[in-house]
Copies of this chain bind each other. A is one copy, B any other.
């Protein structure tokens, strides 16, 4: 199935986090456009998550330890590991989850 990100609708899932979503059978793709200073509080989920840093800078805190992500960096977050985030600048991120995130349908 083909998707064009340019024409896919986006929605604000957390304040400042605009997301476009594509769901396969085993994975969910979340294309984020994030406003500078926006934060996501610490949380965890059963899904493995792979963060692809596309543009800007983002502070990803894993188990209380901060990591500064820049373009070209990729971060794998195992299932059930606690994480939080903060957009240091406006940024674009592709998060991929497996299994599918039913809450982003």
Chain A residues with CB under 8 Å of chain B are 1-6, 22, 24-27, 29, 48, 50, 52, 67, 69, 72-76, 78-79, 94, 96, 98-99
Q: A3-B73, A4-B72, A27-B96 are in contact. List 17 more A-B contacts (CB 8 A).
A: A1-B76, A3-B74, A3-B76, A5-B73, A22-B50, A24-B48, A25-B48, A25-B78, A25-B79, A26-B98, A26-B99, A27-B27, A27-B98, A52-B94, A94-B94, A96-B96, A98-B98
Nearest neighbor of A54 in chain B, beta-carbon distance: B54
10 A-B pairs with least C-beta separation: A26-B98, A3-B74, A5-B72, A24-B76, A26-B48, A1-B76, A98-B98, A27-B98, A6-B72, A24-B48
